[in-house]
Homo-oligomer: A and B are copies of this chain.
């Protein structure tokens, strides 16, 4: 294998594929990137088994020659070191050449690097074949779906399926759900009829993919009972699924509502953020004290002191009610709604409550209160 390549295009491809590579892995060969050069162009593959990313740099892009003076072939190169060299080089083009099965040279006008490499046969076979059930959406829709839900997934591995976003397709609707059991985010999207699946995809990977698809216009999702594939531009990403039935979350949002509060999202976030300075004894727990006469956020520490924040411009309906909650959960939920005003619906002080964008029925956030003593 040998090629001379435009460095900026090369770096874009390396930056995509290397995001799947972990420096510490029980499978040392996966610290490498796989480079395959053939008549289509240069394929770069990175993987940690759970996540595999394969991207193509074509020989020519819009009549610009990206790769020239090449000879087909494959090799495996340490991802971290190889990417760092290419990133720090300064010339417009770099030349990569496999000298023998154990040595690769990387060079430009002023730099000569020799890197030990690994034979391509040692790389595992990774399943990147497309699946039958597939779905196309814009990357904007996908990004919003992930942003509005992923934060609510658990970061603890005790119940692995809670670290996932559950994607359920059926009856023309795709529902993304994430919950760590103390809060839940659920987003609905219209999709074509006849697409049916129910899979759990690690929330971390969904966020990673949302980041990687930024800048492209649409992506295709295809799923089986083993893996999910995300295809966009010249890149294909495969993620493992998390086994196990996802909990039934259909009935978590209460049907009866006894108290509703509509407030400006920014005023609420800032008031919570300030009052939270005094949430020391019960970490991050603040009280929302509601009546038709006024809305307050309060927090108290016996050692340090107390905070009371009054919120102007609210609309409250119902008897007076005080609810204590984890301020981080409520702030994250309110931010995820992305709306100017937010609407809270309460059943009672210890029942899960709903936070919505008053003008967008596709997304709901549910938070369970914290017991106060």
**A binding-site residues for B, Cβ under 8 Å:** 78, 81, 84-85, 88-90, 103, 110-116, 270-271, 273-274, 277-278, 303-312
User: Does A273 contact B116, Cβ atoms closer than 8 Å?
Assistant: no
User: Does B89 contact A274, Cβ atoms closer than 8 Å?
Assistant: yes
User: Does A312 contact B110, Cβ atoms closer than 8 Å?
Assistant: yes
Q: Which residues of B contact A90 (CB under 8 A)?
A: 270
* Known contacts A115-B305, A304-B81; is-contact A110 B278 (Cβ 8 Å): no
Return the chain B residue nearest A116 by Cβ.
B305
* Known contacts A110-B309, A111-B308, A310-B110; is-contact A85 B277 (Cβ 8 Å): yes
Q: Which residues of B contact A306 (CB under 8 A)?
A: 113-114
Contact of A88 (CB < 8 Å), options: B81, B274, B311: B274
User: Does A305 contact B84, Cβ atoms closer than 8 Å?
Assistant: no
* Known contacts A85-B277, A88-B277, A277-B85; is-contact A113 B270 (Cβ 8 Å): no
Q: How far is the CA of A278 from the CA of B78 in the complex (A)?
A: 12
* Known contacts A271-B110, A273-B88; is-contact A116 B308 (Cβ 8 Å): no
Q: How far is the CA of A85 from the CA of B299 in the complex (A)?
A: 13
User: Does B307 contact A112, Cβ atoms closer than 8 Å?
Assistant: yes
The 10 lowest CB-CB distance pairs between A and B, nearest first, are: A115-B305, A112-B308, A88-B274, A114-B305, A110-B310, A114-B306, A84-B277, A113-B307, A116-B305, A111-B309
Q: How far is the CA of A304 from the CA of B271 in the complex (A)?
A: 54
